[in-house]
């Protein structure tokens, strides 16, 4: 394609993206900001932003892209990768299963009903707390630093923990504390309860923007290879397992419908964040033919925990631009 022609197409595509954000912004009315974490309730529910970054480093973004927000459950993906790099995949899989539950993300019920109490997958709270506990380090800070270091390599900048969000969640984390004590009792915690909770809740409170999410998705979609740094950050095997977990468990008890009707490895968080990893084979007929990462932020969420404007926006883009792994 001639250069000017290519620029015209890029311009047209970013205009589509702007229009789609405005089309789906009103969907925010159908949800609310997470109110069980006081600091998240104060966010503006009408915000909506998206970034898509291709393997060539070209970024297309639209909406309220300067806003920052916390990773929340999206951090479960990076902590899982970190634990696999750190402890080896087979050790991690001895401690956490890879089965979807169909239950809410913070459910406790299966820990007792299924012997021996091994958490079902790393994308629900029980599995994520086990994963955070097994990351090496002699303190919660050392464990957290391991996760943050990997994240910083992916996004190419320094990241911080939002202390206000962390504190407000720490004070209200009764259910997570109950899950952690249960895991400890059944032998699925590799450190003390309070240490594991501190790592887990701090990783949830890492502050990012939509471009950061898109970069994380880009690296995962590229099987652990960072196409801009031209460096393999983690193994292909770990990336493939992570993508499979994102497809089967990444959108909580909406994962089945998300796989059926959108068809991308993705992970959501109660902050309204969605991360999607689009491998090259799933995007050949899109404006990002060699794969891309997608980051979305829309803080109004549904009762499951997914962004009410973000999910239909992603569905629309995936349909219009033929992005689907199946």
Size of the site for ligand DON (CB under 6 A): 13
Task: Tell me whether residue 176 is annotated as binding.
Answer: yes
Residue 325: name the closest of 212, 210, 220 by CA.
Answer: 220
Cα separation, 313 vs 316, whole angstroms: 5
Task: Tell me whether residue 188 is annotated as binding.
Answer: no
Cα separation, 122 vs 173, whole angstroms: 18
Exactly one of 50, 51, 61, 72 binds ligand DON (CB under 6 A); that residue is 72
Task: Tell me whether residue 91 is annotated as binding.
Answer: no
Contact of 313 with 48, CB cutoff 8 Å = yes
Cα separation, 202 vs 162, whole angstroms: 8
Binding mask 15-44 for ligand DON (x = CB under 6 A): ------------------------------
Residues 6+ apart with CB under 8 A from 59: 51, 52, 53, 211, 214
Cβ closest to ligand DON, residue 169 vs residue 198: 169
Cα separation, 126 vs 129, whole angstroms: 5
Residues 6+ apart with CB under 8 A from 10: 58, 60, 287
Catalytic residue among 51, 55, 73, 75, which? 73
Q: Select from 2-10, 139-147, 236-244, 264-272 the region that touches ligand DON (CB under 6 A).
A: 264-272
Cα separation, 118 vs 187, whole angstroms: 9
Does residue 299 belong to the site contacting ligand DON (CB under 6 A)?
no
Residue whose structure tokens are 């690296």: 219
Q: How many CB atoms lie within 10 A of CB 24?
A: 25
How near is the Cβ of 12 to ligand DON at its closest, in Å?
Answer: 34
How near is the Cβ of 199 to ligand DON at its closest, in Å?
Answer: 12
Catalytic residue among 27, 166, 252, 297, which? 252
Is 76 among the catalytic positions?
yes
Is 91 among the catalytic positions?
no
Does residue 212 belong to the site contacting ligand DON (CB under 6 A)?
no
Catalytic residue among 43, 61, 76, 202, which? 76
Exactly one of 73, 211, 242, 248 binds ligand DON (CB under 6 A); that residue is 73
Cβ closest to ligand DON, residue 73 vs residue 101: 73
Is 200 among the catalytic positions?
yes
Point out the residues that are catalytic: 73, 76, 200, 252, 270
């Amino acid at each position: 394609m001639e250069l000017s022609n290519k620029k015209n197409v890029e311009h047209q595509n970013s205009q589509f993206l702007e229009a789609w954000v405005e089309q789906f912004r009103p969907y925010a009315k159908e949800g609310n900001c997470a109110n069980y974490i006081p600091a998240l309730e104060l966010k503006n529910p009408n915000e909506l932003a998206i970034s898509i970054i291709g393997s060539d480093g070209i970024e297309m973004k639209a909406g309220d892209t300067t806003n920052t927000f916390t990773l929340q459950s999206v951090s479960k993906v990076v902590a899982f990768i970190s634990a696999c790099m750190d402890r080896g995949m087979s050790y991690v899989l001895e401690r956490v299963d890879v089965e979807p539950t169909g239950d809410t993300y913070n459910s406790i019920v299966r820990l007792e009903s299924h012997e021996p109490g091994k958490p079902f997958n790393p994308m629900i709270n029980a599995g994520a707390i086990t994963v955070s506990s097994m990351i090496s380090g002699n303190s919660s800070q050392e464990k957290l630093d391991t996760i943050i270091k990997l994240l910083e390599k992916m996004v190419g900048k320094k990241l911080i923990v939002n202390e206000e969000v962390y504190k407000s969640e720490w004070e209200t984390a009764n259910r997570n504390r109950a899950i952690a004590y249960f895991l400890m009792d059944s032998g699925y915690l590799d450190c003390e309860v309070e240490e594991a909770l501190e790592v887990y809740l701090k990783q949830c409170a890492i502050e990012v923007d939509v471009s950061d999410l898109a970069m994380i998705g880009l690296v995962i979609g590229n099987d652990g290879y960072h196409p801009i740094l031209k460096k393999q950050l983690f193994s292909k095997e770990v990336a493939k397992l992570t993508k499979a977990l994102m497809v089967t468990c990444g959108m909580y008890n909406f994962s089945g419908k998300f796989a059926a009707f959108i068809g991308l490895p993705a992970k959501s968080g109660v902050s309204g964040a969605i991360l999607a990893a689009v491998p090259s084979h799933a995007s050949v007929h899109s404006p990002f033919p060699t794969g891309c990462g997608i980051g979305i932020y829309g803080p109004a969420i549904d009762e499951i925990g997914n962004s009410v404007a973000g999910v239909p926006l992603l569905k629309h883009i995936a349909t219009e631009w033929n992005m689907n792994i199946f």
